[in-house]
Amino acid sequence: MQILKFARKTWRDLSVDGRGGIDVRVLGVDPGMAITGYAVVSEVDQTLTLYRYGVIRTPSSMPLPRRLYQIHKGISDLLDEYQPRAVSVERLFFNKNVRTAMTVGQARGVVLLAAGARDLPVLEYTPPQVKAAVTGHGAATKEQVQLMVQSLLRLVEIPTPDDAADAIAVAVCSLHRWGWDEKLGAGR
């Protein structure tokens, strides 16, 4: 896990009861230029609650600056409405398709900007870390992750589209891992 430099808070600072107890709301984000998935999840007394999930879509016909603005505005609106204590984002991995990696990086950048403007911690996890935190296995399939997300959050159906389900998994990962990250000294 990596906590970006502009974040001044640690997870311990974020607990409502001040004793290290878990009472935290997180915005999980799966950034993409065409589709950015998001999920607002909290954990209180080891019970996960899904407040909202969905996607921000930007059409390819829209100019790039406008698409980035739409993603930034959508994330900013969610941050303002739900007041999460942190933003959790899947760490960018290098793709063979450089163009795709660049556009995902740009979308990710405006998400980080929205969090940074509010002085929120940004927690980054690799895909294997997310899979391991949600399913117990870092090489789990997408279907296994989706089924576990459905089970953990007591959902009637598997959340769709995939981008929203991935954002839920990233948020759940940060909520499941924070205690271990604190004990191991991450973000210090």
Helix (H, G, I), strand (E, B) or coil at 59: coil
Q: How far apart (Å, rounded) are the C-alpha atoms in residues 10 and 22? A: 13
Q: How far apart (Å, rounded) are the C-alpha atoms in residues 41 and 25? A: 6
Stretch (H or E) spanning 113? helix 98-117
Stretch (H or E) spanning 56? strand 47-57
Which residue is listed with tokens 């004793």? 19
How many other β-carbons are positioned within 10 Å of the β-carbon of residue 142? 13
Q: How far apart (Å, rounded) are the C-alpha atoms in residues 87 and 124? A: 9
Strands 86-90 and 23-30: parallel
Provide CB contacts within 8 A for 50, sequence distance 6+.
39, 40, 41, 153, 155, 168
Compute the radius of gyration of the chain from its Cα atoms: 16
Active site members: 30, 90, 163
